[in-house]
Amino acid sequence: MPDEVTVESKPRLSVVHRTVRSVLDLHVNFAPAVALAEVDRWSPPCSPLRLLSVDEASDCTSITGSTEPPSPTQNVHSSSRSHRRRRRRRKAGLRALRFLKQNSFSQHALFCLLSGRPLVVIGGDESLVRKLVDALSLFLPAPGPDGSAVKASLTAALQLTDLLTWRLIGIHRSPSSSLASILHSLTRYSRYLALLDLDQRTLQCPSYSGSLIGRLADPHSGISQGITYLLHLESCLTALANQALLCTFNPALLRPHKAGGNDGAEEKDFLLMRGLCTSENDLKVMHFLCDLIKQRHAGRGPPVLRFSYNSMHLHKNTYSINK
């Protein structure tokens, strides 16, 4: 068993006001039991995974060959859909930029998304919750073409099996009969989640330190336009995906470990010495992205429920509301 770790967190952008829970630094990957009859229903090996969530809403459109010229109606519908898509992306990019500039704990939240810890956004304003979930989905690795990894509005109690699918969840704090059961489920699974409370302006999650996330989420950058930040984010995520591909398929990392050696030491040394990562938190991000790529190329198998037991901290927003 690993030794108990005492975490002294001094993040650059926020103040950790109190430790909520201290637990062992333990990583768990869990796959539910599956009957043999279900194996044939698993999907076959697929094409390489697109890690870029912003790429799921790309302006690119598919072109199919046809001997007939497109009708004026098709052109109008295609142009209208493309315009709505670009407009939605610009708005999401601007909201994501505002989130970085208005919340001192923004990098901790993005660390949760990029390392596989489900992030729950809760607030009394349903419209604000939905808009923030839409903005944060830009940072979510492999959200799926239909956004299946995002649940914009949770209306029933959270189940453990839901964490197999959803990695970004929105909850409207309303006087409904189901709210009590929803809040109870959040308490039950709090060790597996990150909780962003818009009303209290707090974030409960493990603390982040490193350099990977700072490159794509610098709150002090001079970017002020949503589309400009969207292009910057797309560039940073592309570079991050390239690094994950390098780590996944580098032959040096695929060699079997020496007998009695430290399992994972080669990979860790490679990532740290090459400057791809500067901290254990950066390694967790890279490991999660590499696992997504491996899952996609393996093609077969049940969904995996993975948790990282770390000390949880309550981060309070130290930025003014009008910043």
Mean pLDDT of successive 10-residue stretches along the chain, which has 323 residues: 44 48 51 49 47 47 47 61 80 94 96 95 96 96 87 94 93 91 94 95 95 89 90 93 86 51 59 74 90 79 70 90 63
What would the two tokens of residue 205 be? 């999650």
- The answer to whether 193 and 147 have CB atoms below 8 angstroms apart is no
Neighbours of 304 (CB within 10 A): 13
| Cβ-based neighbours of 36, under 8 Å, separated by 6 or more | none
What sign for the dihedral angle of Cα 37, 40, 41, 42? positive
For the domain covering 15-26+91-233+310-316, report its CATH number. 3.40.50
- Measured CA to CA in angstroms, residue 73 lies from 61, 63, 77, 80, 323 at distances of 17, 16, 6, 11, 46
Return the domain boundaries, the chain.
15-26+91-233+310-316
Q: Cα(72)–Cα(52) distance, rounded to whole angstroms?
A: 33
Structure pTM?
A: 0.74
Nearest partner of 114 among 256, 281, 235, 227, judged by Cα: 281
Could you tell me whether strands 119-123 and 194-197 are parallel, antiparallel, or unpaired per DSSP bridges? parallel
Q: HEC states along 17-65?
A: EEEEECCCCEEEEECCCCCHHHHHHCCCCCCCCCCCHHHHCCCCCCCCC
What sign for the dihedral angle of Cα 8, 13, 18, 20? negative
- Measured CA to CA in angstroms, residue 42 lies from 45, 79, 92, 165, 300 at distances of 9, 37, 34, 15, 6
